[in-house]
Structure 1
């Protein structure tokens, strides 16, 4: 077979192959399935009760609590109570070693006696014309100073017996016998802590974006890890006027590096209801403060809303299956739903999500 004959056969085979592929391409185009639309999930506008809440985290603490710090410096001689004991105001709770203060009291008493005698003698001489007024006045000043020192010595002696300043419970372990306790405000030795555990509160930190919604008297619920899903109730009683970092004060902002805090929080105090006395001081409370409620109002899921610079809209499903973008006015928000005040009516259907499958590319056969 010569070369010319082979070339003719190759051309014939190539033509047949092109014809077959062309026929297949025409067939595929004629039987192509249209792009399928992803089903549209809808929600029917429904009347519901809706609650708006602000969440925060705080710590359970007593409404009233005191640190027992001595007014004098002395060694602890006796501790009269132990942790968890209930005490009454005025009850003796600790005694300090009084040896030094008792000696000081005796010396002060002696000095009062001596200066009184000197003063009385000087006064007698002055009245008889045998002594000067100046000598009498100096003696009187010495006597009055001694009386004042005696009063101070008695007060210090009384401070060796420490009494409870309030009704409450000893929280935490008191200092042990033999501890050297120093006096002072803020820097002294804390012998023990007393707290009224019958009245508890939560001090919660609320973000600045939510603080404007919080008002005194609002109710709240909260949970603690120790009791699983059990809900406790509380009420807002105080809202701090300054943030936790006093960021407005140019002398008291930021951390040690000079950086300003990235998030601003305000302390909100809530009075706690704990009739079963289950809550312990220091527990972490996850609080939900109710800021607004509405009963039997039209609502939609949050996922149905579309918000942009022009406002808030929803995709309303018409009776004929078409869709329309409808502007709406919203009310209060919960964690899942939003109140619809204008733009829709009960029974209207709204699209939650809609998409079409992407159109496949044309088949490329060559």
Structure 2
């Protein structure tokens, strides 16, 4: 009998040890651990407040340029590829020039001809002007000579303007980078014919990656605390261990509504000298505010949203009560409670009544 009792006790101890090891190694919390994890007290603490927002890395105005053809023709040289760095004024494409060069030469010849005619008529006009002053020629002849001189002068101006246009068209055949930056797209190939006009496609896009910003979507409940000049930091998925630094540069006055929540776009300056950031990356932004002392707080994960309202679950007599709250500042861990909770109350992470 004693032997059986000993065996039972040994077996019970073994089972207990096995359960302890199982909870420890599997990551599953024991009932007491789960309760400790799910429950938090409403307490007063100093809060180094920050506003959390999600944003998108974007090129600043003027930092992204789409280049199209200003003269039609076949692309005879395309010395760049996507990802290449280019400088302002660098040749990035050349369009066939034979017809354009011929037009320039034709206009130069026309200009030379009308200039010669103008020079001859100018001499005739000066001669007849002197004769007219001494009344040696008729008024009709003087008027005719003066008119021919003015017509010749107008022809010179017209020919000069047409030559300038022809030279401009020839210059357009050499496509240069309007800004320094990185080639983001090339939508043509050497030998392809490009067109001009309002509907003509862009065939090269350049982005200056040194001039980026983050457009952060700041909740309407937080935007009143955000000011131009405040420091901010953000991370991106491509470099999760890097905290990029910046400052608030502007707050858009018009709202953006997503899923019935009102946001205000807020721009954050970016230092991208290392070239780690690219447009359209998602950024997790922290905007640093002042520090508040002795404010009521709860863990961030206890605060839930219902449309534009926020609520928590309050534990009372082993039952949970859904209670709407007004929130203030928050940092990466805690949220300030302005109304709806009292110091010492117990809140839960999620609804403990849900299975």
C-alpha displacement of 1:76: 1.4
Q: 1:59 aligns with which of 51, 54, 57?
A: 57
Say whether 1:165 aligns with 2:178.
yes
Compared with structure 1, are the counterparts of its residues 99 and 275 closer, same or farther at alpha carbon in structure 2 (3 Å cutoff)? closer
Provide the rounded CA distance (Å) in 2 between the counterparts of 1:162 and 1:241: 39
Say whether 1:188 aligns with 2:200.
yes
Q: 1:133 aligns with which of 123, 138, 146?
A: 146
Structure 1 stretches of 4+ with a deviation exceeding 6 A read: none
Say whether 1:77 aligns with 2:76.
yes
User: For residues 214-266 of structure 1, what are the alpha-carbon distances to aligned partners after superposition, in whole Å with 9 as ceiling and x for unaligned?
Assistant: 32122223232333465433322122233459xxxxxxxxxxxxxx9955543
User: For residues 269-289 of structure 1, what are the alpha-carbon distances to aligned partners after superposition, in whole Å with 9 as ceiling and x for unaligned?
Assistant: 211234532222221223233
Whether the 8 Å contact between 1:297 and 1:340 is mirrored in structure 2 is: no
TM-score by length of structure 1 reads 0.63
Q: 1:270 aligns with which of 268, 271, 278?
A: 268
User: For residues 163-192 of structure 1, what are the alpha-carbon distances to aligned partners after superposition, in whole Å with 9 as ceiling and x for unaligned?
Assistant: 2222222122352112322334x6433231
Provide the rounded CA distance (Å) in 1 between the counterparts of 2:101 and 2:243: 56
Whether the 8 Å contact between 1:87 and 1:164 is mirrored in structure 2 is: yes
Compared with structure 1, are the counterparts of its residues 105 and 171 closer, same or farther at alpha carbon in structure 2 (3 Å cutoff)? same
- Report the counterpart of residue 239 of structure 2 in structure 1: 227
Say whether 1:150 aligns with 2:163.
yes
C-alpha displacement of 1:350: 4.2
Q: 1:300 aligns with which of 297, 300, 322?
A: 297
Compared with structure 1, are the counterparts of its residues 132 and 281 closer, same or farther at alpha carbon in structure 2 (3 Å cutoff)? same
Whether the 8 Å contact between 1:77 and 1:95 is mirrored in structure 2 is: yes
Compared with structure 1, are the counterparts of its residues 113 and 244 closer, same or farther at alpha carbon in structure 2 (3 Å cutoff)? farther
Compared with structure 1, are the counterparts of its residues 47 and 217 closer, same or farther at alpha carbon in structure 2 (3 Å cutoff)? same
C-alpha displacement of 1:124: 2.2
Q: 2:214 aligns with which of 199, 202, 206?
A: 202
- Report the counterpart of residue 179 of structure 1 in structure 2: 192
Q: Considering only aligned residues, what root-mean-square deviation do their CA atoms show, in Å?
A: 4.0
- Report the counterpart of residue 93 of structure 1 in structure 2: 92
Provide the rounded CA distance (Å) in 1 between the counterparts of 2:43 and 2:264: 37
C-alpha displacement of 1:146: 0.4
SS in 2 for 1:90: coil
- Report the counterpart of residue 18 of structure 2 in structure 1: none
Q: Which runs of 5+ in 2 are unaligned?
A: 1-38, 129-140, 304-313, 315-325, 349-355
Whether the 8 Å contact between 2:43 and 2:297 is mirrored in structure 1 is: yes
Q: Whose radius of gyration is greater, 1 or 2?
A: 1
User: For residues 281-328 of structure 1, what are the alpha-carbon distances to aligned partners after superposition, in whole Å with 9 as ceiling and x for unaligned?
Assistant: 2212232333x3325534432669xxxxxxxxxx9xxxxxxxxxxxxx
TM-score by length of structure 2 reads 0.65
C-alpha displacement of 1:341: 9.2
Q: 1:50 aligns with which of 39, 48, 51?
A: 48
Number of aligned pairs? 280
- Report the counterpart of residue 114 of structure 1 in structure 2: 113
Compared with structure 1, are the counterparts of its residues 261 and 124 closer, same or farther at alpha carbon in structure 2 (3 Å cutoff)? farther
User: For residues 132-171 of structure 1, what are the alpha-carbon distances to aligned partners after superposition, in whole Å with 9 as ceiling and x for unaligned?
Assistant: 2111111111111001111111121112112222222212
- Report the counterpart of residue 216 of structure 1 in structure 2: 228
Whether the 8 Å contact between 2:250 and 2:267 is mirrored in structure 1 is: yes
Whether the 8 Å contact between 2:41 and 2:346 is mirrored in structure 1 is: yes
Provide the rounded CA distance (Å) in 1 between the counterparts of 2:292 and 2:225: 19
Quick check: 192-201 or 106-115, which moved more?
Answer: 192-201
